[in-house]
Chains A and B, each alone.
Chain A
Amino acid sequence: MITVESLTRKYGGFTAVDDVTFTARPGRVTGFLGPNGAGKSTTMRIMVGLTPATSGSALIDGARFVDLTNPGHEVGVLLDASAQHAGRTGREILTIAQRTMGLPKGRVDEMLDLVSLTPQEAGRRVRNYSLGMRQRLGIAAALIGDPRVLILDEPANGLDPAGIRWMRDLLRDFAQRGGTVLLSSHLLHEIEVIADDIVVIGHGRIVAQGTKAELLAGAGTLVRTPDAEVLGRALAAAGVSCSAVDGGLRTDATPDLVGRVALGAGVPLTELRSGDGAGLEDMFLELTSDTQREGAAA
């Protein structure tokens, strides 16, 4: 269990992490979602003691990370898969972790097996690794101490679709055995695929959190019709507010109610469905648009 409370980190006048509070629970994969520069990595670095917090706390099963005597056995951490000495081999990097944590030698091969790095690949120097291979190596290093908690920053970065599915299964299995997983991503899709709970951060603040089902269910209904104007009036008459979207309407009402209203108004529908994540996606795009260099691409 990871408990983050009122965590704040300021750099001069800039607040990178602003009063962040959330919990990542055992048995669940918690996705930490936010655009680039939202404060995800800073929050994670504070959790593991690499960056001091200005105020607030981040506890792992009630203890500060820096007070753990041999944290590798309790918390697996992957912050940046590229932060490895380019001249070391993959096997050597795992061996250093195995020795530091005081683990049996066999763990290195077990981990290489687990993340599907072949002996040849493990014998290569990390400078010759693809980003996907570095991520696999980083996951292996995080898991080598058989921890209860995983903190992974953008672990799916650089993985191909098969790799993302592999990671999803791995993390789901880890959570099902009672582990706690916190992983960050700037891609909504990745988080949707992997996470059970979602915490959304933007400009250093938490903007939404809940289970994936709840956040996606809260998204209302999307309806498309050639007579959008007529349906809009009918919905308004039924006391349902709606907004126009490309070729249709979005409303907070259930698809069931919208269907009945449309039937009553005699409006033909071309599409009627729950908004599945559209609300989350809109919110996420709104967060992103402020920092997007392409302008109003959202």
Chain B
Amino acid sequence: MTATTVQPTTLPTTATARERKVVPPIGMGRIVGVELRKMFDTRAGFWMLMSIAILSVLATGAAILFAPDADIDFELFGSAIGVPMSVILPMIAILSVTGEYTQRTGLTTYTMIPRRGRTIAAKGIAAVLVGVVSMFVALGIGALGNILGSAIVGVPTDWNISVTEFSQIVLAQVLGMTIGFMLGVLLRSSAAAIVTYFVYSLVLPGLLMLLAGLQSWFADIQPWVDFNMATSRLFDQTMTGEYWAQLGTSGLIWLVAPLAVGLALVMRSEVK
């Protein structure tokens, strides 16, 4: 087929072109605000947030009901609530990223803000904010449980979580959340990222433990390369300089490197 190009002879322009107007730039604070809103403006997102509170209350109730009286202290409630949190927070982080792809809202998001790194950074900030605030909510619920529990069983109320310990727990939860965030950025699919998160957090530790048991060379380096092991120390141990260093090296492998790859992919990939 030959191209039949008809060149317009005269242009019957009906109007003059509109003036370019002064456009206010989009500040980072605004993007973070919008991303926070997007996390919770659907039913799924809303109940995800609510489940943090609901599961904290349930975990507290279960601790009062089932724990031996002598064990009723703040630490018990802290760890009881920590379990559901360590599952839900990463899910929130994963879905905040993958939703743009699975639900295809990225088409709109990335045309409103073409520099995709800004949106991803805002999502990261929003996720950390949600993680930290959730931990304080959990702390409050745990504190109520501790008062209530000790009163019910008639033991003195024991506040045995120090500020340092609490900060470490918050850090551990946020790091878990960041792993979810990283998987969301890297895989850009809700199902794939969620499955991979559970493989990482539930299957991988067992496998690495097995490997360390069979191969002594791996047992030696495991603390330096196993991020699960390094973060789990934050929950219940006094962190030494070596522990922090191991958290750093393993985090480089499991968090920083894959996040960098994921970010490069997000920048380059086609949004469909």
A residues adjacent to B (C-beta < 8 A): 1, 25-28, 45, 48-52, 61, 65-74, 77, 79-80, 82-88, 92-93, 96-97, 99-102, 141, 148, 175-180, 197, 202, 205-211, 214-215, 218, 283, 286-287
Stretch at the interface among B36-44, B166-174, B213-221: B36-44
Q: How far is the CA of A26 from the CA of B18 in the complex (A)?
A: 8
Q: How many A-B residue pairs have CB under 8 A?
A: 157
Proximity bits, B8-43, A CB within 8 Å = 1, else 0: 110111111110110111100011011001100111
* Most B Cβ at <10 Å: residue of A50, A68, A176, A210: A50
Query: A155: shortest Cβ distance to chain B, in Å?
Result: 14
- Contacting pair A209 B112 (CB below 8 A): no
Query: A249: shortest Cβ distance to chain B, in Å?
Result: 20
- Contacting pair A179 B271 (CB below 8 A): no
* B23 touches which of A51, A69, A202 (Cβ 8 Å): A69
A51-B271, A66-B114 known; A179 vs B108 contact (CB < 8 Å): no
A-B contact pairs, 27 of them (CB 8 A): A25-B13, A26-B17, A27-B17, A48-B111, A50-B270, A51-B270, A52-B268, A70-B23, A70-B24, A73-B21, A74-B23, A79-B111, A80-B107, A84-B108, A85-B99, A85-B103, A87-B42, A97-B108, A100-B34, A101-B112, A175-B15, A177-B15, A178-B15, A205-B3, A208-B5, A210-B7, A287-B1
A71-B114, A84-B105, A87-B44 known; A96 vs B34 contact (CB < 8 Å): yes
Residues of B within 8 A of A45 (CB): 270-272
Asked whether B254 is an interface residue with its Cβ less than 8 Å from the other chain, the reply is no
Residues of A within 8 A of B164 (CB): none
Asked whether B110 is an interface residue with its Cβ less than 8 Å from the other chain, the reply is yes
- Contacting pair B270 A69 (CB below 8 A): no
- Contacting pair A210 B20 (CB below 8 A): no
